[in-house]
Amino acid sequence: MTFQIGDKVIYPNHGLGVIERIEEKTILGTTCGFYHLRISSNDTTVLVPLTNADNVGLRPAIGNGEVERLFKVLCDGKIDSQQNWKGRFKDNSDRMRTGSIYDVAEVLKSLTLLSRAKTLSFREKRMLDRARFLIVSEVSEVIAEAPASVEARMDSALDRCITSRQKAAARAKVPSSTTVKVLPQRVVAVAPRRAARAS
């Protein structure tokens, strides 16, 4: 995918940025084009090679229509809750690197659920904060709404998601009603014992 100057794009794990210029640079004898990307959150500049933009996950910001789809994902009650810390951290790190806002939403749901059950490790708490920031900043920019308003809506969706999941888990624990079939009692005829003869 190619971008133009002025395009708003998402750089994985950094969030929203604007392409300020596109220029060629010669590095170690090799000339290639670069996007000069200004990251909105901290006003830093990132150089992304044109040929590597897809590999690093550079993508356009979502559209208005996708915002509603995102909130449906945030409150759908489906949460991947990997119990093993190492496996969970690897899965979540991989999702964060894709740059997909829907992958970030899955990380947000998983870590939010976990944070309500126990204290997160420093690394997972930082990842949860990053996921919240990435979603709020992108949606806020797309719908031109204050971050606080977007955050409140996001938290409401997460509450519904967790409540829905807890109800589903509770239903799964209740044993289904068992039908007991009563069979008619079997009557067995027993011959009377003969009295012992007196000797």
Average pLDDT over residues 106-134: 94
Position 173 scores a pLDDT of 77
The length of the chain, given as a count of residues = 199
CB 113 within 8 A of CB 165: yes
Residue that is written with structure tokens 């919240």 in the block? 132
* Confidence label for 192 from pLDDT (cuts 50, 70 and 90): low
Mean pLDDT of 66-95: 89
Arithmetic mean of pLDDT, 100-107: 94
8-60 has CATH 2.40.10.170 classification: yes
CATH superfamily of 64-170: CarD-like, C-terminal domain (1.20.58.1290)
Res 191 pLDDT > 80:
no
Chain region(s) in the chain for CATH 1.20.58.1290: 64-170
Compute the mean pLDDT over every residue in the chain, rounded to the nearest whole number: 86
Q: Which residue has the higher pLDDT, 189 or 102?
A: 102
How high is the pLDDT of residue 109?
95
Q: Where in the chain is the domain with CATH 2.40.10.170?
A: 8-60
Instruction: Report which of 36, 73, 71, 38 is spatially closest to residue 145, judged by C-alpha positions.
Output: 71
DSSP labels for 50-118? GGGHHHHT-EEPPPHHHHHHHHHHHTSS------SHHHHHHHHHHHHHH--HHHHHHHHHHHHHHHTTS
Tell me the C-alpha distance between 77 and 175, whole Å: 21
DSSP state string for 154-166: HHHHHHHHHHHHH
Q: Residues of the chain with pLDDT > 90: what percent?
A: 57
Q: What is the pLDDT of residue 185?
A: 56
Encoded tokens for 113? 């659920």
